[in-house]
Amino acid sequence: MKEKEVRCTPEELKELIENLEEGQILEVTLNGE
C-alpha cells in the first residue's frame, strides 16, 4: 500500500484531531463498562 500525500488546511487538521480524540474517549468509556 503506497502512502498518499494528504493535503488539508490547518482548520481541517484541527477538526480531524478533535474527532480522533473524541473517538478515543468514547472507546475508553465503552471499554470501562
- Residue range 1-33, pLDDT digits in tens: 677 776 778 898 899 889 888 888 777 777 776
Report pLDDT for 27.
Answer: 75
Report pLDDT for 11.
Answer: 93
Report pLDDT for 3.
Answer: 74
Pick the closest to residue 23 from 15, 2, 7 (CA basis).
15
Report pLDDT for 1.
Answer: 64
Q: Which residues contact 8 (CB under 8 A, 6 or more apart)?
A: 16
Cβ–Cβ < 8 Å for 16, 8: yes
